[in-house]
C-alpha cells in the first residue's frame, strides 16, 4: 500500500504543472485507500505528556502502538528535532505511512521569548507584531513544530480573567488588525519552504466568561457576538489562517465544540477552507455542560457541526468508526474532515519529506540568535507604557542606584506565563542589565517583599534603608509569573499583598523613585497611581526584558505604547471598557443626579483604553473630516512640539447617533502610529471605509448608513476634536 502512495506521488511530480492535481485531489487519492480506523486516526490528536496543558486523560492506549496502527494524526507538546523525528518515524511505519502534524502553544515566542501578547498589543504597531510572530515561527519550524495554537484573538473586557495576557485587549477593531498581523507573521513561508500553521482561538466569545472565571459560561446577545467577538476571527479567516480552535464556553445554550451556528458562519458565510481543532478535551466536556447525553453523542455532535480534530478527549477515536458503521454519521462527513487534515500536511510539504522540519543543524544555529534577541528587545521596549511622569523620566543614571522588589532579579518573572519551550535562565533581568550597563555605579538591591508570601513585611526596613541612601530608586512591583494565564483568574486584581504599603514608604523616603509594574493583566494600584512620581507598566517582556526597561528609563527609546484594555479604578467597576453603550440616563459626575453612576465609587477607569504618555508632546491642528466616495476622510497637521523624537498614536473614533439598533458611544475605526523628530510636523491623512461602518442589528446585518459623530483623540476619553457628518 505504501508503494501505491509513493507511485501516486511520483506521478503527480511527473505531470506538467498545469495538469498537477490539487491538494484536495491528492488527499482524496489517499482517502480512497484508508480504512475507517485510519480515517478516524487522522482526526485524533494526543499529547506527548511532557508539557501537558490540560488534565491528562488517564487509561489511554499505548501511543506508540496507536501511531504504528495509523490511529493518531497529530500530536502536541512534543518539540525538538530529535523527538519529533522519533515520533514521525513511528507514524511512518504504519500501513499507509501518513506523516504526523506536531503542534505546540507558541504563544509569545519559542525559545526567544517576546512580551506577552497583551503587551505586544500595547505597541499598536503591526510591524512589531509581525516581527515577533515571524521570529517565533522560524524558531518553531526549525525545531520540528508545524503548528502553533496562536493567535488568541478573544476580545476581553474583564481583567480578572487570567487569559487576557494571551490576547489583544478590549477593542474589536484593533484585535482584528492584530489578528491579521499575527497570521501574516506566522504563516508566510520561509525561503527554504518551511512554514507554520497558525490557529485562531478561541472560537468564539471565550473572552466573555462570566465573572472573568476561566472556563465559565458565556451569555451574550447575537448583536454582541457579531459586533464585538466575531470580527477578529473573520479577519483571521480572510487572512488565510490554517486552523481555528473551539472555545470552551457555550453560545446561546450550545457549547462551541458542537455549535452548528458558529461553524455555519465559519464555513458557509465566511467561506473558510481550513480545519477546526477542539480545545483540550472540550468535545468530551459537552457532556459535563449538560448538552450531550454521553461521549458518543458528543463525538457525533462535534463532527456534524464541523470540528475536524479532537484534542485529547478520545471521543473521535473511540466512537467515530462505530457512528459511521451505524449510519449515525455519514462517511462523507468523515471524509470531508480527513481531507482538511491531509491538505494541510500536503501544504506543509510533509508528504514530500516528512522530516523536512527535523534538521538539527538549523535548530542548533537559529535559536536564541543575537538577531532574534535584538528583535525581542525592540518589541519589548515598544510594549512599555508610560503611565505617569512628573519630570523624572528619562534619567541619566547616577552613581548610587537602589533597586527594590523581587521582580528586578527574577529571571522567570521576566518571561511570564505560557512559555512552554523557553530556557528558564536566559532572560535578562533589570538588575543584570543595570550591572552590565553601569559597572561604575553603586547598585544596591533589596527584595522588600516576597512575591509569593505577599503579606510579609520583614524586608521593608532593608528596602527603606537603601532607598534613603540612593540618588535614584527603581521599584519593581506586580504579579509573579504564575498569577496570570490559563486557569489563573483572580477575584481581586489589586497589587498583591503589601506592595502598595511598601511603595508609599519608599516614595516618602526618596522622591526620585521610578516604579515599574510587571504582570499579565491590568491591575488596580490607586495609591501608587496617586503618589508615584513616575510609573512604567512593563508587563512581562521576555528574554530581553531588563535591557528594554533600561532603554526606556534612560531615554534611548521614547515610550510609545498605549493601554490596550482599560485599567479599572475599583473592582466594582468591572467590566469597564470604553466602547460601552449609552443608557437613557448616561453617567454624569454630579452627585444626586439620577444617572448611570455609582454613589460610592467613580464609574471611570483609572487609565482608559489607548492611554499612554511620551517624553515629548504633540500638537494637532487643522483637523478636517469629509465624505469622499466610499470612505470618510480625516486630515490633520501633527507637530512634535517637545524635546525628543517620538511616536504619537493618532486615533479616530466614530459614533452612530441613531438607528434601528443602538450603537456604542465610541468605536475605534482607524489608528496610526506617527513618528516625528522633535520640531517636525506632518500632514496626516487617514480614512475609514464606509463598509467598516456595517454592524449586526436587530434585523441582521445593516449597511451602517446614517448620521455620525467623528472624534479624533489621544485616548478613548481625551478627545481633541469632534464633528458630525452624514454617511448615506
> Is 0.85 surpassed by the pTM of this model?
yes
For residue 726, the SS3 value is strand
For residue 568, cis peptide bond before it (omega within 30 degrees of 0)? no
Q: Is residue 279 flagged as an active site residue?
A: yes
Going by C-alpha positions, the residue among 392, 378, 402 that lies closest to residue 553 is 392
Q: What is the pLDDT of residue 474?
A: 98
Per residue in 160-197, pLDDT (tens digit) is 999 999 999 999 999 999 999 999 999 999 999 999 99
444-472 mean pLDDT: 95
Residue 97 pLDDT more than 70? Answer: yes
Beta carbons of 73 and 309 less than 8 angstroms apart: yes
State the average pLDDT for the chain. 95
First to last CA, the chain: 63
Q: What is the pLDDT of residue 425?
A: 84
Q: What is the pLDDT of residue 714?
A: 97
Contacts of 365 (CB under 8 A, 6+ apart): none
Per residue in 370-387, pLDDT (tens digit) is 999 999 999 999 999 999
Q: What is the pLDDT of residue 420?
A: 86
277-293 mean pLDDT: 98
Q: Where in the chain is the domain with CATH 2.60.40.10?
A: 618-727
Beta carbons of 435 and 368 less than 8 angstroms apart: no
Going by C-alpha positions, the residue among 286, 335, 281 that lies closest to residue 308 is 335
Buried b (16+ CB within 10 A) or exposed e, 132-149: bbbbbbbbbbbbbbbbbb
Q: Where in the chain is the domain with CATH 3.40.50.1700?
A: 379-571
d(CA 197, CA 112): 19
Q: What is the pLDDT of residue 50?
A: 54
Alpha-carbon dihedral sign for residues 525, 530, 531, 536? positive
Going by C-alpha positions, the residue among 307, 241, 245, 299 that lies closest to residue 270 is 241
d(CA 276, CA 341): 10
Q: What is the pLDDT of residue 7?
A: 45
Residue 538 pLDDT more than 90? Answer: yes
CB atoms within 10 A of CB 487: 11
Q: At what angle do helices 295-305 and 315-325 cross, to 10 degrees?
A: 80
Q: What is the pLDDT of residue 589?
A: 82
- Homologous superfamily of domain range 618-727: Immunoglobulins (2.60.40.10)
Q: What is the pLDDT of residue 662?
A: 96
For residue 365, the SS3 value is helix
Q: What is the pLDDT of residue 422?
A: 80
120-139 mean pLDDT: 98
574-584 mean pLDDT: 96
Check 279, 310, 378, 413 and give the catalytic one. Answer: 279
Residue 54 pLDDT more than 60? Answer: no
Q: What is the pLDDT of residue 171?
A: 98
Beta carbons of 398 and 471 less than 8 angstroms apart: yes
Locate cell 468605536: which residue?
Answer: 667
Per residue in 500-535, pLDDT (tens digit) is 999 999 999 999 999 999 999 999 999 999 999 999
Per residue in 447-458, pLDDT (tens digit) is 999 988 878 999
d(CA 22, CA 12): 10
d(CA 383, CA 563): 10
Q: What is the pLDDT of residue 21?
A: 83
Q: Does domain 379-571 have CATH number 3.40.50.1700?
A: yes
CA angle 39, 311, 77 (to 5 degrees): 110
User: Could you tell me the pLDDT band of residue 1, with boundaries at 50, 70 and 90?
Assistant: low
What grid cell was written down for 445? 538591591
3-state helix, strand, coil in the chain (%, to 5): 35, 20, 45
Residue 17 pLDDT more than 70? Answer: no
- For β-strands 44-47 and 310-311, DSSP reports them as parallel
d(CA 585, CA 548): 46
Amino acid at each position: 500500500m505504501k508503494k501505491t502512495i509513493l507511485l501516486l506521488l511520483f506521478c503527480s511530480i511527473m505531470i506538467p504543472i498545469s495538469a498537477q492535481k490539487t491538494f484536495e485531489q491528492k488527499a482524496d487519492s489517499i482517502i480512497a485507500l484508508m480504512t475507517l480506523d485510519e480515517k478516524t486516526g487522522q482526526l485524533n490528536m494526543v499529547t506527548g505528556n511532557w508539557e501537558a496543558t490540560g488534565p491528562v486523560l488517564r487509561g489511554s492506549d499505548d501511543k506508540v502502538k496507536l501511531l504504528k496502527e495509523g490511529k493518531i494524526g497529530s500530536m502536541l507538546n512534543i518539540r525538538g528535532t530529535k523527538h519529533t523525528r522519533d515520533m514521525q518515524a513511528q507514524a511512518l511505519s504504519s500501513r499507509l505511512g501518513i506523516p504526523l502534524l506536531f503542534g505546540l502553544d507558541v504563544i509569545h515566542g519559542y525559545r526567544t521569548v517576546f512580551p506577552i501578547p497583551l503587551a505586544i498589543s500595547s505597541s499598536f504597531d503591526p510591524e512589531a507584531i509581525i516581527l515577533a510572530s515571524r521570529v517565533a515561527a522560524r524558531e518553531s519550524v526549525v525545531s520540528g513544530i508545524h503548528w502553533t495554537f496562536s493567535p488568541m484573538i478573544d476580545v476581553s473586557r474583564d481583567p480578572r480573567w487570567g487569559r487576557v495576557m494571551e490576547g489583544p485587549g478590549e477593542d474589536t477593531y484593533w484585535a482584528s488588525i492584530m489578528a491579521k498581523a499575527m497570521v501574516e507573521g506566522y504563516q508566510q513561508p520561509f525561503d527554504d519552504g518551511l512554514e507554520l500553521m497558525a490557529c485562531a482561538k478561541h472560537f468564539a466569545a471565550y473572552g466573555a466568561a462570566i465573572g472573568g472565571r476561566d472556563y465559565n459560561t458565556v451569555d451574550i446577545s447575537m448583536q454582541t457576538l457579531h459586533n464585538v467577538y466575531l470580527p477578529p476571527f473573520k479577519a483571521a479567516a480572510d487572512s488565510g489562517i490554517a486552523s481555528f480552535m473551539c472555545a470552551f464556553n457555550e453560545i446561546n445554550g450550545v457549547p462551541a465544540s458542537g455549535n452548528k451556528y458558529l461553524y455555519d458562519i465559519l464555513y458557509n458565510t465566511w467561506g473558510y477552507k481550513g480545519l477546526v481543532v477542539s480545545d483540550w478535551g472540550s468535545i468530551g466536556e459537552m457532556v459535563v455542560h449538560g448538552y450531550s447525553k454521553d461521549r458518543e453523542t458528543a463525538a457525533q455532535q462535534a463532527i456534524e457541526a464541523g470540528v475536524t480534530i479532537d484534542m485529547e478527549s478520545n471521543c473521535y477515536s473511540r466512537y467515530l468508526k462505530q457512528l459511521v458503521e451505524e449510519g449515525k454519521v455519514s462517511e462523507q462527513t468523515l471524509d470531508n474532515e480527513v481531507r482538511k487534515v491531509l491538505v494541510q500536511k500536503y501544504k506543509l510539504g510533509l508528504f514530500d519529506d516528512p522530516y523536512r522540519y527535523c534538521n538539527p543543524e538549523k535548530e542548533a544555529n537559529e535559536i536564541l540568535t543575537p538577531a532574534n534577541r535584538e528583535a525581542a528587545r525592540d518589541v519589548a521596549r515598544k510594549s512599555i507604557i508610560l503611565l505617569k511622569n512628573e519630570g523624572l523620566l528619562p534619567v541619566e543614571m547616577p552613581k548610587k542606584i537602589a533597586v527594590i522588589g523581587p521582580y528586578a532579579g527574577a529571571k522567570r518573572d521576566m518571561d511570564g506565563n505560557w512559555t512552554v519551550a523557553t530556557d528558564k535562565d536566559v532572560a535578562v533581568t533589570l538588575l543584570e542589565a543595570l550591572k552590565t550597563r553601569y559597572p561604575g555605579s553603586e547598585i544596591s538591591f533589596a527584595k522588600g517583599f516576597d512575591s509569593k508570601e505577599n503579606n510579609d513585611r520583614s524586608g521593608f526596613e532593608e528596602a527603606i534603608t537603601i532607598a534613603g541612601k540612593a540618588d535614584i530608586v527603581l521599584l519593581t512591583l506586580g504579579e509573579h509569573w504564575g498569577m496570570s494565564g490559563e486557569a489563573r483568574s483572580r477575584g481581586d486584581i489589586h497589587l498583591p499583598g503589601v506592595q502598595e504599603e511598601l511603595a508609599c514608604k519608599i516614595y516618602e523616603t526618596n522622591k526620585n523613585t521610578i516604579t515599574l509594574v510587571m504582570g499579565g493583566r491590568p491591575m488596580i494600584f490607586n495609591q501608587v497611581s496617586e503618589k508615584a512620581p513616575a510609573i512604567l507598566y512593563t508587563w512581562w517582556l521576555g528574554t530581553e526584558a531588563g535591557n528594554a526597561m533600561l532603554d526606556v528609563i534612560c531615554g534611548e527609546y521614547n515610550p510609545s505604547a498605549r493601554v490596550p484594555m482599560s485599567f479599572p479604578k475599583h473592582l466594582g467597576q468591572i467590566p469597564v471598557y470604553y466602547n460601552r453603550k449609552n443608557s437613557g440616563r448616561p453617567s454624569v459626575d454630579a452627585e444626586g443626579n439620577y444617572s448611570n453612576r455609582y454613589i460610592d465609587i467613580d464609574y471611570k477607569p483609572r487609565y482608559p483604553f489607548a492611554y499612554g504618555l511620551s517624553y515629548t508632546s504633540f500638537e494637532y491642528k487643522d483637523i478636517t473630516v469629509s465624505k469622499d466616495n466610499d470612505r470618510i476622510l480625516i486630515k490633520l497637521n501633527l507637530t512634535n512640539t517637545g524635546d525628543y523624537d517620538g511616536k504619537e498614536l493618532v486615533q479616530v473614533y466614530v459614533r452612530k447617533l441613531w438607528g434601528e439598533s443602538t450603537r456604542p458611544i465610541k468605536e475605534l475605526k482607524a489608528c496610526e502610529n506617527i513618528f516625528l523628530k522633535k520640531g517636525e510636523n506632518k500632514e496626516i491623512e487617514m480614512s475609514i471605509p464606509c463598509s467598516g461602518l456595517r454592524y449586526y442589528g436587530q434585523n441582521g446585518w445593516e449597511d451602517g448608513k446614517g448620521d455620525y459623530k467623528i472624534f479624533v483623540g489621544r485616548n478613548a476619553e481625551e478627545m481633541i476634536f469632534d464633528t458630525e457628518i452624514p454617511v448615506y
